[in-house]
Structure 1
Amino acid sequence: MRLHKTEIVFLGYAALTATATYLIFLLKQYLDNRIDVGYADLSALSDINSMLLGALAIMICGLAIAMLGIYPALRSALKERGRLSEVTQDLTKKSATYQHAALTDPLTGLHNRRYFDDAIEQYLQEFGAIDYPLGVVLLDLDHFKNINDTYGHDVGDDVLRAIARCLLDYTRHHDVVARVGGEEFAILAPNLDVTALNKLANRIRVAISEITFKSGEDCFQVTSSMGMTIWDGKEKAAALVKRADKNLYVAKTGGRDRVVS
């Protein structure tokens, strides 16, 4: 059984007390012997002997109280503290798990809309302070309802997971990629100007269109429409996302499988 540091200190104190008690006991025996052999000042020795006897009794009582009363209470308190520490650590882990679950899309493993909304607010503050560009890309899969209707929702879920992997493959580690709707995704890309962001969006669009899905004997592919925009340095997060959403609408009504900025 592993001892707590406090227990070790206490047991050290108890050992020293026990040693002192034993030394007093030896001294008393020595004085008793001196008295027996007729030492000159028997009265003084008798007084000292009485005081040592009293001190010995007090030390023994103190040691008994410490070992029978204080130590069990200390041991119990430390056990309770250990249990509380374990419970606290368990709750902390569960809290982190719940927080992760609250900010993660369970189907794709990407961030969810809540995380994206929080991230864009923080990015606007951070990159606005250093005057770096910040881009937003909204992506919507074309005719996704037809995939669910034709091949079933299980296949549709496989498509969404594959798209999520593709987005992670083509974005950088500090980009924020989120699933913000049924078949709608969002990318928050800092430090890219409009030309670089347009190239990134088109690379992703082409990569998505080249993925081949299989359902039974059928093979099919999907395309995507994207709306992108660069923060003007002044607008709120909602206004920035709204501009990207308007460009997405133009991409979808303009023939799909394209990027509009």
Structure 2
Amino acid sequence: MLKKLQHIPLTGELPSPKGVALAILEMCRKDDTTITEIAHIAQTDPALAGRLIRNANAASTGGGRPIASVTDAIMRLGMGTVRNLAMGFSLIDQYHSGPCAGFDYERFWSHSLLVALAMQEFSQMTGAGAAEELFACGLLSQIGRLALATLYPQEYATLLKEADAADRLAELEHERLHTDHNELTAALLSDWGLPLALIEPIYHHDAPDKAPFTPGSRPHQLTQLFYLAKRIGDLGISPDPERNRHTADLLLLGGKIGLDADQFGARIDGIVAAWHEWGELLKVPASALPSFKQMCAGQAPRPEDSNSPAALRVLLVDDDATMRCMLEGVLGDSLGHTVQSASGGEEALAMALQFMPQIVITDWLMPGMSGIELCRALRATEWGQTIYIIMLTGIDTREEVTEAFEAGVDDFLTKPVDLRSLRARLRAAWHYVQLLEAWEKDRAQLRQFAAELAISNRRLSHAAMTDQLTGLPNRRAGMSELDKAWSASGRSAQPMAALVIDVDHFKRINDSYGHAVGDQVLREVAQTLQHSARRDDVVCRLGGEEFLMVCNNTDLRAALGAGERLRKLVEVLAIKVGGHEIQLSISVGIAARDASMKDADELVNAADRALYRAKESGRNRSCISLKGQLRCGPWQAG
């Protein structure tokens, strides 16, 4: 159960939008606010106006006419998204710095911006939500961290020093501050008016595997996408040495949304390019990154010479400083390995967690933790089971040798160490590392094959239910959604409506300009219908120039309003061909479910009859079917 803001114990002033953004937030809370009023307020802030126009154009995927006015941008984005974007941009402008010494404000916004752009890209790929809406949600998805840094600057600075991982951070936040950044993010977004359907995935996205959503459901999909976007944000702000550990995980996560390695890399490169552009606009730093392919290529350097050991990561453990210094010189300077050394078992165990050695060469007898105890401790961990361990010893009795092998030692070197024996042991260790890498590569290839097979299956399933020209659900998918909506309406006694939409004079367009232009017209109309539809509406292409919109929880009056809104949006579209513009219009037939209808087919048939009446009455109008009677516009506004 998500907490309300007033139920969270807080002191001090929370981050909040100021100026024009605050005015927009207040206006959006009023039921009678119009787009014109919002546009009038937004135009008083040129920076905000430019950002809204840029976002509206960036989120457009159909190649339509670029937007140049704030009013058009708000019409495309919707007032709710404009409110969310205005809040995000206002907070960025206010909090480039702040009172919390341990909180990197620039880095926070850099990460948030990259998450926002990733969510915008994933929205366009998956259809999980409106691109501009998910951009705004991505920008605000970690706002609870900024809130805690603002409310408790000193305490939060201390807490950040102690937290060594994201999951540890939330735990410490709850322990010290009686709330955490996820809880506070959800409460703030709720207070600002974001829908619960988006707040819940944001709340759970730090730990998506623990989210209480049904696999395949929209909340589950959004949670996974927010998590993937967060990991891309982590990649973007990580220093060079840490990037490699992110790329392998990202490739596997990318497979979950249907992309192979090359496609996913291209997507990330595009997101990073947009990150730099938006970073300049918002005065937010964006690091210069190599291409994703280059970052992946840096993960597994392999030896070129198969006859001699390539450079290995070696951890040397010996309490004898003279012996340690001698072996460091031989291993590092003479043999070319990367060497770190420790004087005891406890120090070596801590160092191994950071260094991740391939080889450990350890003395047996040492003060504190002995070599045997170190070996057992390493073998008790999953990562330590793959390390090749060589024991240095002057003891070679059968009992000691048996004890060492039972503890997990792989090989022995007898003191004093000679170079030939050391080379031989390292060559054996190198062959072991090669076999281990080959095995890991085979496992990765099997995972890749399984992921690609799953991707292929998803693509086939998607293709079977998708109209290839417009990207909308096809007739088969639309009829399936219609049946589901009909059944849900019957169970809940909620109204529902259907709109059948036809592009006027489409044959004339095909005959005059050719089928390529006709296809462009259909894509433009499909995009307009999709952007205008509410979240729970379903838009599909029935065939030819005809479309169907299924509206859940919608009565006839609301459906007529939706039809008129669609008609007016299409009416202002203009397709440029040569030196001419093609003006478009649609006719809309509308019907709502009533007690006389036995099934969903009767609902669609009623809407279809209304469509034909609209065409007979002169086209570019909406016609409704009301208890078997057909009535056509023009309709009075409101």
* Fold similarity call, TM over 0.5: yes
**Which aligned pairs between 1:62-73 and structure 2 lie closer than 5 A?**
none
Q: In the alignment, which of 598, 621, 626 is matched to residue 258 of structure 1?
A: 621
Please list, as runs of the form range in 1=range in 2, the aligned pairs for 1:43-62 lying within 5 A after superposition: 52=399
* 1:92 has 2:441 as partner: no
- For the residue of structure 2 that corresponds to 1:106, the secondary structure is coil
Is it true that 1:206 corresponds to 2:575 in the alignment? no
Deviations 1:165-209 (A, max 9, x none): 221332212211112111001111112210111111122223323
In the alignment, is residue 181 of structure 1 matched against residue 550 of structure 2?
no
CA distance in 2, matches of 1:136, 1:254: 20
Q: How big is the shift at 1:108?
A: 2.0
Q: How does 1:13-24 map to 2 (within 5 A)?
A: none
* Pairing 1:166–2:535 present: no
Tell me what 1:225 maps to.
587
Aligned-residue offset at 1:85 = 1.3
* Partner AA of 2:488 in structure 1: E
| Per-residue deviation, residues 198-225 of structure 1 (Å, max 9, x unmatched) | 1111222233233333333333423222
Q: Which of 493, 501, 509 is the matching residue for 1:139?
A: 501
RMSD, aligned CA:
3.6
The one-letter code sitting in structure 2 at the alignment partner of 1:102 is A
Structure 2 letter corresponding to 1:255:
G
The DSSP-based 3-state class of the residue aligned with 2:550 is: strand
SS for the counterpart of 2:395 is helix
- Aligned partner letter, 1:99: S
Cα distance between partner residues in 1 of 2:616 and 2:381: 73
User: Does the residue aligned with 1:180 lie in a helix, a strand or coil?
Assistant: strand
Of residues 382, 387, 395 in structure 2, which corresponds to 1:26? 395
Q: 1:131 to 1:55 in 2, by over 3 A?
A: same
Equivalent position to 1:249, from 612, 616, 620: 612
Distance in 2, matches of 1:6 and 1:79, equals 21
Matched, 1:149 2:511: yes
Aligned residue type for 1:181: G
Deviations, residues 107-157 of structure 1 (Å, cap 9, x unaligned): 222222122112112222333322211111001112210111112112212
User: What's 2:578 paired with?
Assistant: 216
Distance 1:135 1:159 in 2: 26
SS in 2 for 1:228: strand
Q: Offset at 1:52?
A: 4.9
The residue number in structure 1 matching 2:311 is: none
- Which residue identity lines up with residue 623 of structure 2 in the other structure? V
2:469 pairs with 1:107? yes
Give the superposition deviation at 1:258. 2.2
Q: Write the mapping of 1:6-17 to structure 2, written as runs, cut at 5 A.
A: 8=383, 10-11=385-386
State the alpha-carbon separation in 1 of the partners of residues 557 and 612 from structure 2.
Answer: 20
- The TM-score, its normalising length taken from structure 1, stands at 0.70
The verdict on how the C-alpha distance between 1:207 and 1:26 changes in structure 2, with shifts beyond 3 A counting, is closer
Structure 1 residue runs of 5 or longer lacking an equivalent are 29-50
From the two aligned structures, give the one with the greater helix fraction.
1
* Inter-CA distance 6–95: structure 2 relative to 1 (3 Å threshold): farther
For residue 132 of structure 1, what is the amino acid of its counterpart?
A: Q
- What one-letter code is carried by the residue in structure 2 that aligns with 1:131? A
Match of 2:552 in 1: 190
2:599 corresponds, among 229, 236, 243, to 236
Deviation readout 1:21-67 (Å, 9 max, x if unpaired): x98x9373xxxxxxxxxxxxxxxxxxxxxx859968x97xx979xx9
Residue equivalent to 1:42: none
**Cα 1:221–1:63 shift into 2, 3 Å:** closer
CA distance in 2 between counterparts of 1:236 and 1:74 reads 62
Cα distance change, pair 71–133 in 1 and its aligned pair in 2 (3 A): same
Change (3 A) 1:11 1:160: closer
Partner of 1:32 in structure 2?
Answer: none
Does 2:499 correspond to 1:130?
no
CA 1:137 to 1:63, structure 2 compared with 1: closer, same or farther past 3 Å?
Answer: same
Other structure's SS at 1:185 match: strand
- Residues 232 and 74 from structure 1, CA distance in 2 versus in 1: closer, same or farther, beyond 3 angstroms? farther
Task: String of CA shifts for 1:79-128, please: whole Å, max 9, x gaps.
Answer: 54332211111122232233333322222222221221121122223333
Q: When the two structures are aligned, how many residues end up with a matched partner?
A: 227
Letter in 2 for 1:137: L
CA change 1:86–1:245 in 2 (3 A) is same
Say if 1:7 and 1:75, in contact at 8 Å, map to a contact too: no
Contact 1:110-1:178 at 8 Å conserved across structures: yes
Q: What does residue 121 of structure 1 align with?
A: 483
Equivalent position amino acid for 1:113 in 2 = R
SS of corresponding position for 1:188: strand
| Residue 152 to residue 125, structure 1, CA distance change in 2 (3 Å) | same
Looking at structure 1, the residues matched to 521 and 510 of structure 2 have their Cα atoms a distance apart, in angstroms, of 10
Q: Matches of 1:53 and 1:7 in 2, distance apart?
A: 25
TM-score (norm 2): 0.31
Structure 2 counterpart of 1:216, which letter? G
The one-letter amino acid of 1:106's match is Q
CA 53–204 in structure 1, closer or farther in 2 if over 3 Å, else same? closer
User: Residue 194 of structure 1 contacts residue 229 of structure 1 at CA under 8 Å; is this kept in 2?
Assistant: yes
Q: Percent identity?
A: 32
Q: Secondary structure at the match of 2:466?
A: coil
